[in-house]
Amino acid sequence: PGGWLGALRPRGMGRLMATLACVGGTIGALDLAATAASEEWGQGWIAGALPSALSVGAIGGNALYGMRPWPWPVRTQLTVFAAALPLAWLPLAVAHTPAAAVGATLIAGLAFGPLLTVAFQAVDLLVARSAIREGYGWLISGMGLGIAAGSSLAGAIGAPLTLPLAAAALTALLAATVRRPLAAVAAPARLGMRFVVLPGGGER
């Protein structure tokens, strides 16, 4: 009934998918930038170390994110973590040694992991429960497209370490446009929770 777009039809889902495409762009750009940096510095291990550092940082970021309940609504978390992403990628853009690049990529991962987690929480709000799995699929597809685009662009312009920062800046801009659709679906949800019929006829 939702047409061929399915879970992509709700307002905000297209923007969220585009946001995740830009997140994927940071990964694609990093993969080629790491290879280019390894050749420039004559350190072959950098090609694998930078993507690995991003993954380790993301695990650490998610561990920190899960240590406490967050009082902010999902729309605020999405905006904040997306805004933090370009700041987290900034150290890599100015890194001039292999060790600095690895440390900088770890920092980027700290924002990368929680942002992905919150993006999937946003799907839960924007998409009908029956279409949530499809909604997740659209986000994963968006990331895949972004990785491919980031790799292609990096290859075309020489894979600078500044390219992930540019993709992260676009992520922050697009994530800000999802805030209003998330607010629109959150308000009815809060109202609906005020009157829940309990067994025995009670309400809360």
pLDDT by 10s per residue, the chain, length 204: 455 566 777 889 999 999 999 999 999 999 999 999 999 999 999 999 999 999 999 999 999 999 989 899 999 999 999 999 999 999 999 999 999 999 999 999 999 999 999 999 999 999 988 889 999 999 999 999 999 999 999 999 988 899 999 999 999 999 999 999 999 886 544 433 333 333 444 434
Q: What is the pLDDT of residue 9?
A: 79
Q: What is the pLDDT of residue 88?
A: 96
Q: How far apart are CA 175 and CA 75, in angstroms?
A: 9
Provide CB contacts within 8 A for 100, sequence distance 6+: 91
Q: What is the DSSP letter of 198?
A: P
Nearest to 76 by CA among 8, 122, 108: 122
* pTM across the whole model: 0.84
Question: What pairs with residue 203 in β-bridges?
Answer: 197
Q: What is the DSSP letter of 9?
A: -
Residue with tokens 């879970």: 7
Nearest to 164 by CA among 107, 90, 83, 94: 90
Structural domains in the chain plus CATH codes: 20-181 (1.20.1250.20)
